[in-house]
Structures are given as C-alpha cells and as structure tokens.
Amino acid sequence: MGRAGEIPPAMQRAAETADVIELRLDCLEESERDIARGLLPEWLSQSGVPLIVTLRASEQGGHAAIAADARERFWTSVGKLPDVCLIDLELDLIEKLANEEAILKLPVDWRAVICSHHDFTGMPADLDQIYERMAATPAGILKIAVQANDATDCLEVFSLLERAQHDHREMIAIAMGQAGAATRILGPARGSFLTYGSVDEASATAPGQLGAKDLRELYRIDQINRNTQIFGLMGRPVSHSISPQIQNSAFAAEGIDAVYLPFEVLDAGEFLRRMAHPESRELDWNLRGLSVTSPHKTAVMETLDWIERAAKEIGAVNTIVVKGNELHGYNTDALGFISPLRSRFGALKDARCAIIGAGGGARAALWALRNEGAQVGLFVRNVAAARSMAEEFGADCHGLAGAAFGGFDLVVNATPLGTAGAQEDKTAATAAQLRNVRLAYDLVYNPLETHFLREARAAGNETLGGWEMLVAQAVEQFRLWTGQTPRADKMSVAAMNALKK
C-alpha cells in the first residue's frame, strides 16, 4: 500500500506520457485515503491534465477490501470536484444509490462519472445485460473490463464499442490479460473514450496492462485510425516476443501507416476464421498479415487458401499474407536461419552439420541445410519419435545423451533450452561435447548470451546467436506484407535494444 505523499511525484511522472491520469486511492491505506481526500482539490488544481479519481472495491480489482457503504461515505464527503476531474464509480454502488433514491447526495456532475464493471474470471455470458444496466444509470461514461483468455474474446469487446457508438454513448471497453492487448491498443481508434497504460511495469493495475510509454512510442497509438494496416503475432505465449519492437520500428522508419500487435491464441483455426480470413472474419478491420509462432505453425496450414512450396516441404508456416479474399502461407524461418549462417560460415555444401531438437525450428534448419547441400544429422532425446522426421529430410538420427560433436563443422541448438525464464540455466550441449566444432549456432535469441553459447565459447567454437535469425526472417516477413524491403539495420537496433531490456 502506498502513501498519499507519493501521489504528486507519481502524477508528475505520469503526465510525461499521459493525456489523463488515474488516481487509484484504493492503493492507499485507510488513514492515507483520508489524507488524500483532503488533498484532492490541491492535486486537481496542480495537475496539468484531467484526472480520474478511483476508489475501487476489491471484488472489482481494487487493492483493498472497501465495503460499498465506506465507498459511499467517501464520495458523499469529498465535496464538489473541479471540471477537470472524472470519478469512477462501480455499477453496484451507483445502483445502490439509485435504489435508495440517494443518488443526488453525490456532489458530482454525472456527465463526468465513469460507471464501471470488471470481471476478472472471464467473458460473462450476460455482457449485453450488463451494458444495458450501465446504460440505464445517469453516468456519462460506461466502462466494461473483462478477462480475455483468447484473442477471439476481443470480438465481444469491440462489439460493445460499436453498440455504444450506435447508442451515442461514451464508452471504455477493455479485454484484460495478454489475450486482450488488441483492445487496449486499438480501442481509441474504434471509439473507446480512452485506454489505460501504466507508468511502469510495477504500477500496472490490471492484468495485461501495457506501459503508457509503449502505447505512445512502440504502438504509436496516437496515429492509429480505422484505416491503419494491422499486422501481428499469433501464438501462445506471445508476451515474451520482441517482434512488436522489430516490426513497429520498421513501419515507423518507412513511414507506413501500420501497427503490429501481439495475439494470444488458443485455437489457430478459430482465430483465422473469426478474425483474419476476409470471407468470414467478424471484425471490420484492415488486417493485412500475421506472423505465426509456437504452437500454431503447423495447425494454421489447414485454414490457408494457398501455401508456398518451401513451407509445404518444411511442414510449417510462420507468415500469413492477406491477398484479396485469401490467406497465403509462407515460411521465412528457413531464410532467416540460413542468411546469417552463410555470412558467417560461407559455403555450406558438404559441411558436416548437427541439429539438436525436433521441433519447428529444427525442421526449418534441416530443410535449409539440405538445400545448401550440407550433410545433416539430427540429435534428439527420443530417437524413435524423431526418426520419421529425419528420414523425411534425408538426415541421420542420433540420440543426444552422451553425444560428442567433435569433427562437426556446425552444431545448431534448435531446442528451447536456454530461453529466458525457467529454462535459462539449461543447455542442449556442454563444452566437453562441443570441443573441435567450428561454429555453434543457437536459435534461442532471448537472452542474448545463452548457456549454450557460453559452453561453445569455452570449447573454443565460433558462435552465432538467434537474434540475427530473428531479424533476418522479420525482414523477409516485412517484404512479403508490404512489397518493400525495410532497413535491416533499424530492425537490428530495435531487436538489440529490446533484448538488452
């Protein structure tokens, strides 16, 4: 819990990026709330931007257990607030006051009241009824925030915004959680009265809330309109990805009216049908293309209208382009994998190469190396499960346990071992296994310095990190989507800066 004295400097920081600042008084101790109530007029007069004052109930996402009668006492004793102030009152409190015919006790201009309702459990079945209850109150602004478990849950939230515009009502509609990011970024361009962003990661007040600085600088939210081209990354999870930093920096550098979003997707087919395919999507938006990551690279192929030969042979699509009324699939992973390798290694014909892993990254690497004329061996934990894949690409298949890679020209880690998080301290191979290898290539890009790369350097290997592959495949995606070749140096700088954070 915070202290009232911390609010003015926090307001000052927020004003650097925000058009409106929300004061969450439920984040204060009860005694500090009493102090804050007395200081509100002073804070409001000193603020350079409009303020929202909120005293949230715990069941509605507040940080303290504050009963309805305590919230009522607070608001009826706060006094008349300046015109630059909005206040957020939960639906239950407004209905309670109305039922008691005491609604006039609140010294507020109801045009400046946000009537809010939050559901942190999911998408309520009675969303339309909740909207109608809120619309029946005297509040000037309606706010509904619900938990999204899949990107398709955003459809109902965008539908609410359409309904409010039809009814000539001001509304804020948000899908919380990682899967709801699109509503936070696109909401204002689709009629939302405002969107919420945190001053920093530690001060986020709801699941999936983005930073205000990212909304301004990364997603360029002020420049998004109904005609803005939409691109994005579909996968699960996607919150770790730096693709938004890479692609949005390229759109900005090239002066293209476009934005790249994260889409947390459970069912690839349903997402493509309901949100992406021009013939069946339920949202009127200018979606032009998608990146595809784990676990959907194979599943999306069933829904596409056309797939390039390389992607068919690899058995995975990582790029979707909207062409007319069709969805076309490509694989840029193979090109992204081989481009930096050629620059570092040179000709790969007859090179002895070992790939560790049997997932989508390994398939792209196998295909690319075989196309270069390399001799490839696949090293896996479960030989029986991976043998058919190895045979499909004309590669040998070996067990990883106890493997020694001495004599190989190239060893590729195509497993997630070493990725930031729970697997960061793991490696697919040790220095002892990597002795006498010319080049070790880790497809993991976050962190920049993986355990595998440290082991490779200890063994005397040259090394190549995954961020170069990430940028190379992103350059090709951009070209497929826009027909333009972006500045790879700009994308590289954006990738590096994101990874350093």
Q: Which residues are catalytic?
A: 297
User: Partners of 377 in the beta sheet?
Assistant: 354, 396
Are the beta carbons of 280 and 222 closer than 8 angstroms? no
Are the beta carbons of 347 and 338 closer than 8 angstroms? no
- Look up residue 235 and give its DSSP letter: E
Written as six digits, the tokens of 343 are: 């620059």
String of DSSP letters for 102-145 = -GGGS-S-GGGEEEEEEESSS--TTHHHHHHHHHTSS-SEEEEE
Q: How many CB atoms lie within 10 A of CB 225?
A: 12
Are the beta carbons of 309 and 279 closer than 8 angstroms? no
Give me the amino acid identity at 207: P
The span from the CA of 473 to the CA of 475, in Å, is: 5
Are the beta carbons of 47 and 11 closer than 8 angstroms? yes
What does the angle CA 154 – CA 149 – CA 293 come to, to the nearest 5 degrees? 90
The span from the CA of 2 to the CA of 16, in Å, is: 21
CA distances to 112, 265, 280 from 270, rounded to whole Å, are 39, 9, 10
CA distances to 168, 223, 289, 384 from 491, rounded to whole Å, are 42, 20, 18, 40
- β-pairing, 326-330 vs 319-323, is antiparallel
- CA-based R_g, the chain, Å: 27
End-to-end CA distance of the chain: 27
Q: How many CB atoms lie within 10 A of CB 135?
A: 15
Written as six digits, the tokens of 25 are: 């008084």
Written as six digits, the tokens of 317 are: 């699509």
Strand (E) positions, 191-337? Answer: 229-235, 258-264, 287-292, 306-307, 319-323, 326-330
What does the angle CA 24 – CA 27 – CA 29 come to, to the nearest 5 degrees? 130
- Map tokens 């700009």 to a residue: 490
